[in-house]
Amino acid sequence: MEEIERGKALAKAEDPERYDFLDELNAAERDLLEYHWPLWARREQMPPAQDWRLWLICAGRGFGKTRAGAEWVRHVAEDNPDARIALVTRSIAEARAVMVEGESGILACHLYPDGPEFEPSLRRLTWPNGAQATLYSASEPESLRGPQHGYAWCDEIAKWDNSSERAMKTWDNLQMGLRLGENPQVLATTTPRAVPIMRRLIEQERDPGVVVTRGSTYDNVDHLPTGFIQTIRGQYGGSALGRQELDGELLADVEGALWSRSMLEQCRETLCLEQRVRTVIGVDPPASARGDACGIVVCAVTESGQAKVLADASVERPSPERWARAVAAAAIAWKADRVVAEANQGGAMVESVLRAADCQMPLKLVHARTGKSARAEPVAALYEAGRVNHVGTFPPLEDELCGVMAGGGYEGPGRSPDRADALVWAMTELMLGKRGEPAVRQL
């Protein structure tokens, strides 16, 4: 332990002093120093000094959340032979790949042979002193009904599947099973998203037993490649996606907007398993060459009458030829039945550009006779009624939707909601026009 204390003192020393100190150590002492987490951890990665029952690390990607969670589990297990720990994430596969076997996971935090034995078939880690941790999937809430634990690490809770309120049920069942020991504790690590479970946890921040640690990707800049930092800062810095995924900011809804982030999260699904009856591509052409983006959004309606947003193929500041080729490519890739394009900026030009790009499927030109908000309100009502799903995640499109204001106006990114307009045209054609009701095709 003397070497560890000297290591702490030299952590901020000049390089020559560090090298002299390391030269004095044998191989075993160097290994011990390397695996002593308090020496290397940033202050925000260490457990709070105050008494707590919930510690929420809400931070951007690359912050070091996984390492902090794994090291906390290691500390709990090594200090308490009777510890029973729940490891919960979106799926068992992710729990194993990230929380247990990942490069920042639990196994990587231990110096062999002091680490736990992992039994994949039993979903269980067992430490030499008898402490145990069990893996659980947030997609199976009932698996946490019954087992008792004294500690839990919940990873990426904002990604948990909340269809049929699974995420909330998983969290509730976990809480009810924290019955071991005098001071049960839960560490939740996540990049924030505006989902119900995140809102519930953030609302508890004033509780004295709850500690929220916030941080960004840039807090861990010393341990991330310089090229990576430069790339993401150039591509996403200042954008809504960057604020969420890099800065770790829980994006608030714009008051008065037709869409909210929680609404969009509730309508999300990973796959479209139903047969598509009709597929339409909505297009909002830019007013001029090298002007705004061209909104290109692929939507479909299924046999049950449910609308699906399948893809956002929009292109930024394109020439007419480039956006027309993007529309044609999307139509071919998704086997679209029709292209619906706004023609206020010149219908003949829009049609000729699309035809020149070999866009051969039926083309419908539509003219905006009402404001953007008036056109969008019936589509937003479809979302509220649960009749629309987003098959995947479409950050730029969703940022624009959350900026379209009821009663008029736009408070989202960019000068105009080009993607949102394209979606509205497609949804109007599929769900609100004369052909909005699907029919079963005759074979």
CATH of the domain at 205: 3.40.50.300
- Which positions ≥6 away from 367 have C-beta within 8 Å? 342, 343, 344, 347
Regarding whether 421 and 318 lie in a shared domain, the answer is yes
The pTM score is 0.65
Contact 389, 306 (CB under 8 A): yes
Asked whether residue 78 falls in the same domain as residue 182, the answer is yes
The Cα–Cα gap between 383 and 374 comes to 15
Q: Which amino acid is at 274?
A: E
268 and 388 share a domain? yes
CATH number of the domain that 331 lies in?
3.30.420.240
Specify the DSSP class assigned to residue 288: S
Do 209 and 105 lie in a common domain?
yes
Angle (CA) 187 188 189, round 5°: 120
Q: How many CA atoms within 13 Å lie on the side-chain side of 359?
A: 30
**Residue span of the structural domain in which 145 resides:** 35-236
Q: Is the same domain home to 277 and 426?
A: yes
Please indicate, yes or no, whether residues 208 and 300 belong to a single structural domain of this protein.
Answer: no
Say if residue 218 is in the same domain as residue 290.
Answer: no
> 267 near 247, Cβ under 8 Å?
no
Tokens of 58: 């809400």
Same-domain check for residues 95 and 49: yes
**What are the residues whose beta carbons fall under 8 Å from the beta carbon of 108, sequence distance 6 or more?**
70, 101, 102
CB 310 within 8 A of CB 281: no
Q: Are residues 58 and 195 in the same domain?
A: yes
Inside any domain, residue 13 = no
- In angstroms, the CA 382 to CA 235 distance is 33
- Is residue 165 domain-shared with residue 71, that is, in the same domain? yes
Q: Into how many domains does the chain fold?
A: 2
Instruction: Please state, in angstroms and rounded to a whole number, the distance separating the CA atoms of residues 225 and 66.
Output: 18
Q: Can you give the pLDDT of all 443 residues of the chain as single tens digits? A: 455 455 555 555 555 665 566 667 777 777 777 777 887 889 999 999 889 999 999 999 999 999 999 999 999 999 999 999 999 999 999 999 999 999 999 999 998 788 999 999 999 999 999 999 999 999 999 999 999 999 999 999 988 987 778 899 999 999 999 999 999 999 999 998 877 888 889 889 889 999 999 999 998 888 888 888 888 888 777 676 788 888 888 777 777 899 998 888 889 898 888 899 999 999 998 876 555 789 999 999 999 999 999 999 999 888 888 888 899 899 999 999 999 988 866 545 666 777 666 666 788 888 877 788 889 999 999 999 999 999 998 989 998 999 899 878 888 888 889 999 999 999 999 999 754 444 444 43
Domain endpoint, select from 236, 253, 280 = 236
Backbone torsion region of residue 287, taken as left when φ is above 0, otherwise alpha when ψ lies between -120 and 50, otherwise beta: alpha
What angle is formed at CA 96 by the lines to CA 110 and CA 269, rounded to 5 degrees? Answer: 145
In this structure, are 198 and 279 located in the same domain?
no
Angle at 251 between CA 248 and CA 254, to 5 degrees: 165
